[in-house]
Amino acid sequence: MKIAIIGGGISGLTLAWYLQKAGVAYDLFEADAQPGGNLRTWAAPGGYMLETGPNSLQLSPELADLLADLGLTDQIEDAAAVSQHRYVLRDGRYQALPGSPPALLASGFFSLKTKWQLLREVLRPAAAPDATETVAQFFRRRFGPEIVDYAVNPFISGIYAGDPEQLLIHKTFRQLPALEQAHGSVLRGLLKTSKGTARRRIVTLAGGVQRLADTLAERLSNYQQGTAVSALSRAADGSYQLELRGARGLEAAPGYSHLALALPAYAAAPLLEPLFPAAAAALAAIHYPPMSVVYSAYDRAAVAHPLNGFGALHPKVENAFAAGAIWTSSIFPQRVPAGQVLFTSFVGGTQYEAAAQQPEAAQLAAVHAELAQHYGIVGAPRWQGRYYWPRSIPQFDAAIVGAHAAAETLAAEGILAVANWRAGVSVPDCIRFARDTAETLR
Ligand SMILES: Cc1cc2nc3c(=O)[nH]c(=O)nc-3n(C[C@H](O)[C@H](O)[C@H](O)COP(=O)(O)OP(=O)(O)OC[C@H]3O[C@@H](n4cnc5c(N)ncnc54)[C@H](O)[C@@H]3O)c2cc1C
């Protein structure tokens, strides 16, 4: 058995790491000149250490194990305690989003009607399972429209760059309909199952999240960067042959019993097309909306808002320009020079596609204007910068169903999908899925 891993993002790197530990032969090919894919730390001019992709990670057991394995546990940096507070734009101003159902009942964030609907969720009968139900339909049915508009909508655009009217509940939060089915009510299910489960730590690494990718790549014996897989073919014995495009021109790498697709679905589709056209079409249908990440730094004294939280999200009904901003200097103060604050704004995702594609200068100006309005900022930014993702995060909407079915078909041919469009989009999801896949290949 020999496995070719195509793509050296966190999924491919983790898969390679656990295969190497288990003594399974592999080669990992990464097109880019650096490992990590979406994990990309940017030392920007002016002394700012920024993330263009994931800014912070939930410390899942699998991530903690991987960091321990790599000797990185002492490099973990926790988010500041203040970042447990989250804000949402409501009626033109930022209001603290209650962090739990009891806090929600006590706060004035939601109307009395919505609080009453929330309480009555425990009595509402479970509906028959529906594989086509969207996240918005599910929450509207169980908790009412205000919860969708002011909690679910900003959360989905903040985490998934998505639209709750399109994402499927059983592909995005499969545990919630499962709780409804098992306990008759989501809240009753949560109360029964979440007793004693502590909130996960939100962390980064000293030097940024790219350190994780760099360390993995350093420890892998068969990692090749700057080498794109440009075509696939299959020999009479069923083994796979790769055409590689790198510094040495075109090369062939034959004799793989398995392939691991650890690359975006839109990059995997053209490789699969000649051998598996139907699967290729299903993968090509996954939507990756564009996303501009805009950084704005100010002198602390120029910003009136206390910035006592993780950040603030914008529900679509508030008609803002950006989907929201995280308060980088509040979460990880060491990333920004003393005496300054830095906002990382997200302009894009499915609900903000037109704004994501505007020219850079227009985006920077619009973000500054919006920040100035909501945070009471006087004067111009000290510095602004932008990173553009033409195709950011795969959407788990109706198209993902066909892609996941295609992944099953491919698995029967020895081709394993091990990337965020299969695993789930968070870095811990990718790590867990890659580690589980390595287990099946031992
Ligand atoms: C703006 C943004 C913010 C995010 N924020 C968070 C966050 O805060 N927390 C969190 O947990 N997650 C976050 N995510 C999600 C998370 O970063 C990704 O889901 C995850 O990193 C994807 O990893 P991957 O290895 O599956 O794919 P990728 O990172 O896409 O890696 C795929 C790799 O394949 C390579 N490749 C492509 N084509 C070829 C080819 N033909 N041959 C060889 N190699 C090829 C690419 O160069 C790339 O390195 C964010 C993502 C984005 C875009």
Q: What is the pLDDT of residues 274-296, one digit of tens each?
A: 999 999 999 999 999 999 999 99
- Any alpha helices (H) in 23-174, and if so which ranges? 61-69, 101-106, 112-119, 135-143, 145-147, 153-160, 169-172
What the block records as the tokens of 325 is: 């901003």
Q: Which of 6, 17, 38 to mutate to test the pocket of ligand 1 (most atoms within 8 A of CB)?
A: 38
The CA 106 to ligand 1 mean position distance, Å, reads 39
Ligand 1 neighbourhood includes 392 CB (under 6 angstroms)? yes
The candidate with the shortest Cα–Cα distance to 171, out of 417, 403, 11, is 403
Using CA atoms, how far apart are residues 430 and 10, in angstroms rounded to an integer? 7
Which tens digits make up the pLDDT trace of 368-400? 999 999 999 999 999 999 999 999 999 999 999
Q: Which of 39, 52, 373 is nearest to 212 (CA)?
A: 39
Q: Which atom of ligand 1 is nearest to the CA of 427?
A: 11
All domains in the chain, ordered by first residue: 2-39+209-287+396-440 (3.50.50.60), 110-124+133-193 (1.10.3110.10), 289-389 (3.90.660.20)
425 lines ligand 1 (CB under 6 A): yes
CB of 9 within 6 A of ligand 1: the answer is: yes
Copy the structure tokens of residue 205: 């690494």
Of residues 119, 95, 117, the one with CA closest to residue 107? 95
403 in contact with ligand 1, CB cutoff 6 A: no
**Cβ atoms within 10 Å, residue 69:** 15
C-alpha 378/C-alpha 357 separation (Å) is 28
Q: What is the pLDDT of residues 180-202, one digit of tens each?
A: 999 999 999 998 987 766 789 99
CA 315-320-322 angle, 5° bins: 90
CA–centroid distance, residue 30 to ligand 1 (Å): 12
Query: How far, in Å, from the CA of 388 to the mean position of ligand 1?
Result: 14
CB atoms within 10 A of CB 407: 23
Cβ of 28 below 6 Å from ligand 1: no
31 lines ligand 1 (CB under 6 A): yes
Q: Please tell me the distance between residue 41's alpha carbon and the centre of ligand 1 in angstroms.
A: 13
- How much distance in Å is there from the Cα of 119 to the middle of ligand 1? 39
In short, whether 56's Cβ falls inside 6 Å of ligand 1 is yes
* Residue 101, pLDDT above cutoff 80: no
What are residue 292's DSSP bridge partners? 347, 388
Q: Select from 425, 422, 436, 394 the least CA-distant residue to 14.
A: 436
What burial class does residue 275 get, using C-beta atoms within 10 Å of its C-beta: 0-12 exposed, 13-18 middle, 19+ buried? middle
At 91, the amino acid letter reads D
Query: Minimum mean pLDDT among 146-160, 239-253, 324-338, 342-356: which range?
Result: 239-253
As beta bridge partners, residue 250 has 245
**H/E run at residue 231:** strand 228-234
Q: Which of 55, 160, 263, 435 gets mutated to test ligand 1 (max ligand atoms within 8 A of its CB)?
A: 263
Contacts of 191 (CB under 8 A, 6+ apart): none
**Residue among 404, 419, 397, 384 at smallest CA distance from 268:** 419
Tokens of 289: 């909306």
Prediction pTM value: 0.97
- Asked if residues 154 and 315 have their Cβ atoms less than 8 Å apart, the reply is yes
pLDDT (average), residues 10-30: 98
